[in-house]
Copies of this chain bind each other. A is one copy, B any other.
């Protein structure tokens, strides 16, 4: 069983999640620019969540590229990830409409944390299928980036109750860590293509 349909379904869900968030941008009744001002926090939180979902899609895309067989474990880990990501529009809207208040900021971090843990579960389920000498295992390595992210989300959740701007800064920082393209898999692949021994990242 190949990854084809898993990717189609995940792409569909991710595409819908990413687009559904726009529905939270309610069209204002007044026609002047001032009517847009209350929407600024909603738009800012939309941008952040859009980037996060883009990162997930991007990484999912890369990972599935080196997964060759889909197990039941992968299917359900993937659904778990999609479940947590499906809550992103809700927490994004709650955070944006309440101008980054403590409780929504913390819950936003919780959803990011749970999605991050689900992604780790998906990676582990894929590694169990591919084996320790697979391209995937080489590409993932110690998964330092993934582990640091989970730690930062946890700190962000705690920070939300002390200084909300700090939680926000942490969530933005994690996004930036990932925006720096995850070249690990690409490097391993081109290393292979060139006949070189892939080095651990």
Which A positions have Cβ atoms within 8 angstroms of B? 1, 5-9, 11-20, 22-25, 27-33, 35-36, 47, 50, 54, 57-58, 61, 65, 72, 75-76, 79, 82-83, 86-87, 89-90, 93-94, 97-98, 101-104, 107, 179, 181, 183, 186
In the complex this chain forms, how many copies of it are found?
Answer: 4
| Residues in B whose Cβ lies below 8 Å from that of A27 | 24, 90, 93-94, 97
| Residues in B whose Cβ lies below 8 Å from that of A97 | 27, 29
| Closest chain B residue, CB of each to CB of A92 | B27
Point out the residue from B8, B11, B54 that lies within 8 Å of A76, measured CB to CB: B54
CB-CB nearest 5 A-B residue pairs: A12-B15, A31-B98, A31-B101, A72-B181, A27-B93
| Residues in B whose Cβ lies below 8 Å from that of A58 | 72, 75-76, 79
CA of A15 to CA of B27, assembled, Å: 21
Point out the residue from B14, B23, B72, B94 that lies within 8 Å of A23, measured CB to CB: B23
Q: Is the CB of A19 within 8 A of B22?
A: no
Q: Is the CB of A11 within 8 A of B14?
A: no
CA of A198 to CA of B12, assembled, Å: 35
Q: Is the CB of B72 within 8 A of A183?
A: yes
Q: Is the CB of B65 within 8 A of A79?
A: no
Q: Is the CB of A23 within 8 A of B20?
A: yes
Point out the residue from B8, B9, B93, B103 that lies within 8 Å of A33, measured CB to CB: B103
